[in-house]
Structure 1
Amino acid sequence: MDLRAPSHRASTGWSPKSSSPVDTRAPIERLPVELIHKIFFQSLEFNFPRASIHVAAALANEVIYSWLIRLAFSSNNPSSSSGILIRPFVPMSYFSIGMKERTDLQTEILRCRWCTISLMRKCQREYVEHVLRQKCRDLVMSDADRAQLDNLDDYWQNIDPFDNATHGKRGKGDLVLSARHPQSDVNLKVSIWFNFGAVQIREPSPVFQETDVFRLPACSLTDPCRMPDRLLRTPWTEEKLELLTLLSNEAYIDDDGNFERSKAVVRQLIVDRDFATFQRLLSLHIRVKIYSYPLRWPVRSNNFRVAARYAKSDKDPFLTLLFSEHRDEIPTSDKSIRALLAKYEQS
């Protein structure tokens, strides 16, 4: 859903019987901007902005983009239905959109060039702060914990942008504060993950469970959106890699266990001799459409063969990384790769 203006331009003509210009815009183009916004969000018709330069101009701004990200990527955990996903934080009823429609919306948004890591980070912070305001304002907290909750600037400024979580799991939180429910007097823990844009308010437990977590971005476990091609090819900028890392546990890269897209990315990095990006991507855990959990970026037999073909020396960094960290992915039946491994170990 690219909200850029279409290539053609609407014209303003001149009446032959008058010296005044004639407005040749279509009736919908002459609507107030607020009505154009309402039509767009009620229909979520991706081609609407492409129909006219006037409509595109009315929709091409950061407020609209932020609303779209909130609408598409806010989690629908059980507690989100109470005081979180409401106007004006979202422009329409969040729960009126079905799972399939939301997945399609996410996929379209990620394809757009305006969907950048800086905008996603801005939306994350606004979302987390909105959740904390709504859900923590009445909790009983110590003065020190309340002061921390009211001033999170240092945490936002010092997040690890390339944290992919250990084995794809987020852990107990970057910041965990104690609280108490004002009516029931039940003890609670407020956990915040800044890099992942996540908040959880739960009762203390020796066993951590990722239940009822507020998150942005959040994609469906059973019907995730698709990682866009633009994030899986050159040029490999820091901004692109950060956005890819953030989305790697949410949007799927591969459709199935053949791992066609992830395998092609690894192969191209070897051919391009881009070891820095190669190393970074292989450290990620990623989604596959048919699995409901993240797995380590897959390496296939062909990737080993390509690395051997392009190796500059016996200590080629690509082969070194593959054989040292991914040897368990070599099929036991693949004698040629096993022979290559034996030769590498003897060198």
Structure 2
Amino acid sequence: MGDSVVLPASRSHLESLPVELIQEIFLHCLEFNLPRASAYISRVLSNPMLYKWLIRLAFSSSNESSKRNHFFAGDFLPPQLDFFTFRPSQRRDLQKDILNTRWCTLRLFRKCQREYVQRALNLLSRDLVFSPEDLHTLSTIDQFFDLNPNSHDRGHCGRRSASGDLTLTGLDHNTGTEYHIAVWFHFGAVQVLKHTRVDADHDLFRLPTCSLEAPLPMPDRLLRAPWTEEQLDFLQLLSADTCLDETRSRRVLRQTIKDRDYKAFERLLGLHIRNWLYKYPKRWPVLPNHFQVALKYAENAREDPFLQLLVSQRWDDLSDDELLLKGEVMKQMRVGCT
């Protein structure tokens, strides 16, 4: 990490230290205010490898096979960052700090996912024997990340499919036991199981992942306009693991209607998110107020795409007690104006 950095004319004691030592201090303390101490220290700590180490430390699975296979040994994580000494609450706090930085982007996460999946496959398949076809697939695994993201499993109802985007079969060269290898590219996940066992979450390698014991709130930076495709994709990647309270989810969806941002509205409506009460993802909540706001801002209710989507996909979210609102929506959509 010893890139050359121009020294300031007048240096503090901390700035006078060698670059490597400043980076070493940060790795030991993980104090995210340290880069804010000065522009010079910020430049010293603006290191892509450092960013990847932090993401690996904060967002990797803490499954048993990671420990058994020494997943974080070598250059995957420096010795200063002892993965298994972090408690769930500490990892949650580190995740919050990372997601609030400007350098934390979907592009960087995708790069980390590639390297994480590749490492998991290398470690987990080293004792397995594959067919020539599957060996070729393993050697060219990187190309699958470049496929159209819509061709990957992105989570039906907020959950991964059981089979994965890619499945391979290997035989243990010592015992002849058959193992099933599944890879989910959008989720950055790998699982190796005996064919006789079916367990969606058993010993799963995944990046990113968040602990149910210490829920991570969805960062505000992903919940505000202007909406971009990358922002919405990043939101979808984190949506099944992070928590979003009803107040924020209601406000965000309402604002997309007011802003007439149909693309963002449609994507949000299709997401499944967790809140503080549930440990599993549920559909983005739609409340009576969203129908009321859609009516208010529709120029022509019959042709308004926001109302059409709400009625076609989320009509059942209105309870039987909302008869007056249901009647008004149907009336305005028949008349065609508000």
Q: Give the equivalent residue in structure 2 for 1:93.
A: 82
Q: Give the equivalent residue in structure 2 for 1:30.
A: 16
| Cα displacement (A) at 1:286 | 1.3
CA distance in 2, matches of 1:51, 1:332: 57
CA distance in 2, matches of 1:337, 1:54: 59
2:320 to 305, 308, 332: 332
| Cα displacement (A) at 1:55 | 1.9
Between stretches 53-62 and 92-101, larger displacement belongs to 53-62
Aligned pairs for 1:62-141 (under 5 A) are 62-82=48-68, 83-91=70-78, 92-141=81-130
1:182 to 158, 173, 189: 173
AA at the equivalent of 1:105 = L
- Contact preservation (8 Å) 2:170, 2:179: yes
CA distance in 2, matches of 1:178, 1:247: 30
Q: Does 1:264 align with 2:251?
A: yes
Q: Per-residue CA shift, 1:112-146, capped at 9, x if unaligned?
A: 11111111100000111111111112211112111
| Cα displacement (A) at 1:222 | 2.8
- Size of the aligned set, in residue pairs, is 324
Match of 1:68, SS state, is: helix
| Cα displacement (A) at 1:71 | 0.8
Match of 1:323, SS state, is: helix
For structure 1, list consecutive stretches of 5 or more residues without a partner in the other structure. 1-9, 13-23
Aligned pairs for 1:285-300 (under 5 A) are 285-300=272-287
Q: Per-residue CA shift, 1:200-244, capped at 9, x if unaligned?
A: 000114845221110001111232212111111111111111111
AA at the equivalent of 1:177 = L
| Runs of 4+ deviating beyond 3 Å | 161-164, 205-208, 344-347
- Contact preservation (8 Å) 2:154, 2:186: no
Q: Percent identity?
A: 45
Q: Give the equivalent residue in structure 2 for 1:7.
A: none
Q: Give the equivalent residue in structure 1 for 2:208.
A: 217
Measured at CA, do residues 80 and 238 of structure 1 come closer, stay the same or move farther in structure 2, by a change above 3 Å?
same
Q: Does 1:321 align with 2:312?
A: no
Match of 1:29, SS state, is: coil
Q: Per-residue CA shift, 1:132-173, capped at 9, x if unaligned?
A: 111112211112111111112331110416853111121110
Q: Give the equivalent residue in structure 2 for 1:20.
A: none
| Cα displacement (A) at 1:96 | 1.5
Q: Does 1:195 align with 2:186?
A: yes
CA distance in 2, matches of 1:339, 1:290: 32
Measured at CA, do residues 132 and 242 of structure 1 come closer, stay the same or move farther in structure 2, by a change above 3 Å?
same
CA distance in 2, matches of 1:77, 1:293: 19
AA at the equivalent of 2:46 = A
Q: Give the equivalent residue in structure 2 for 1:167.
A: 157
- Contact preservation (8 Å) 1:275, 1:318: yes
AA at the equivalent of 2:12 = A
| Cα displacement (A) at 1:31 | 1.9
Measured at CA, do residues 198 and 159 of structure 1 come closer, stay the same or move farther in structure 2, by a change above 3 Å?
farther
- Contact preservation (8 Å) 1:179, 1:187: yes
- Contact preservation (8 Å) 2:88, 2:213: no
- Contact preservation (8 Å) 2:114, 2:142: no
CA distance in 1, matches of 2:195, 2:40: 54
Match of 1:277, SS state, is: helix
Match of 2:75, SS state, is: coil
Q: Per-residue CA shift, 1:33-63, capped at 9, x if unaligned?
A: 2222221111111211111233211111211
Aligned pairs for 1:217-236 (under 5 A) are 217-236=208-227
Q: TM-score if structure 1 supplies the norm length?
A: 0.88
- Contact preservation (8 Å) 2:153, 2:184: no
Measured at CA, do residues 163 and 235 of structure 1 come closer, stay the same or move farther in structure 2, by a change above 3 Å?
farther
Q: Give the equivalent residue in structure 2 for 1:147.
A: 136
Q: TM-score if structure 2 supplies the norm length?
A: 0.90
Match of 1:133, SS state, is: helix
CA distance in 2, matches of 1:45, 1:301: 44
Match of 2:182, SS state, is: strand
Between stretches 146-155 and 321-330, larger displacement belongs to 146-155
CA distance in 1, matches of 2:196, 2:325: 47
CA distance in 1, matches of 2:199, 2:330: 42
For structure 2, list consecutive stretches of 5 or more residues without a partner in the other structure. 1-6
